[in-house]
Amino acid sequence: MEKLFIPVIAGTTRPKRRSFNVAKLIHEIAGKLPEVESQLLDPNDFNMPFDGNDEENKDPKYSEISAKADAFFLVLPEYNHGYPGTLKRFMDSELKNYVHKPVAFAGVSNGPWAGVRAIEAFVPSAREMGLAVTFTDVNFPFVSKLFDEEGKLLDEAYIPRIEKAYKELIWMATTLKWGRQNLEQNT
């Protein structure tokens, strides 16, 4: 069976960012799943200096990746009870490439709420993008204590949680891919 292509999108760009460890971990776990082909997307590697989704404001690299994607896994750290502007600007650069595709979320924070507020804030935008949200978020509280200096995960309990999120995302991606390929699109 053809693999599902599921990019993992990191939410921030700052040099000392910690949520990138989460993005790397989620990408790494995809490597163990026979149904999935993954790619880790770092917004630092894309050129999106201006807002919007006009052709001149897109990065063709991301246009190609998002068109090919069967699903997305977003890492959403909490910034002042919301999600980082970088992630929103990145996602806003495309629109039709999201329609009828599922998205899973990993929430991250340095406090106890584990990015829950960031995820909940992003859901209405995901819906407007045509994305179908899964209900199996993975939440990473106290992120500065979850990884060592080399970025190694210090609590293995997160691994089955990520695998569970992938299981649901794969189900949604398989179902919606069938729908996109076999049913008339209403959009």
Ligand X SMILES: Cc1cc2nc3c(=O)[nH]c(=O)nc-3n(C[C@H](O)[C@H](O)[C@H](O)COP(=O)(O)O)c2cc1C
71 interacts with ligand X by CB under 6 A? no
Is 38 a binder of ligand X (CB under 6 A)?
no
Candidates 11-19, 24-32, 62-70, 178-186: pick the segment binding ligand X (CB under 6 A).
Answer: 11-19
Alpha carbon of 44 to those of 3, 9, 155, 183: distances in Å? 27, 11, 28, 37
**Least distance in Å: CB of 134 to ligand X?**
21
Name the one residue in this structure whose structure tokens are 């959403």. 76
| Least spacing, CB of residue 10 vs ligand X, in Å | 8
Which two tokens mark 89? 């600007």
- Provide the β-strand partners of residue 75: 106
User: Could you tell me where the DSSP H helices lie in the chain?
Assistant: 19-30, 60-68, 85-92, 116-128, 158-182
Rounded to 5°, the CA angle 99-47-123 comes to 35
Q: Which of 79, 92, 120, 163 binds ligand X (CB under 6 A)?
A: 79
Question: Which range of residues in 16-24, 98-106, 154-162, 165-173 is near ligand X by CB under 6 A?
Answer: 16-24
Report d(CA 143, CA 114) in Å as an integer.
8
Single out the segment in contact with ligand X by CB under 6 A; choices: 55-63, 78-86, 92-100, 176-184: 78-86
Instruction: Report 87-116 residues binding ligand X (CB under 6 A).
Output: 108-111, 113
Pair 77, 10: CB distance under 8 Å: no
For residue 19, the minimal CB distance to ligand X (Å) is 3
Closest approach, Cβ 55 to ligand X, in A, equals 30
160 binds ligand X (CB under 6 A): no
Note whether 90 and 47 are within 8 A (CB): no
- Please tell me whether residue 19 binds ligand X under the rule CB under 6 A: yes
**Which residue ranges make up the site for ligand X (CB under 6 A)?**
12, 14, 17-20, 77-81, 108-111, 113, 143
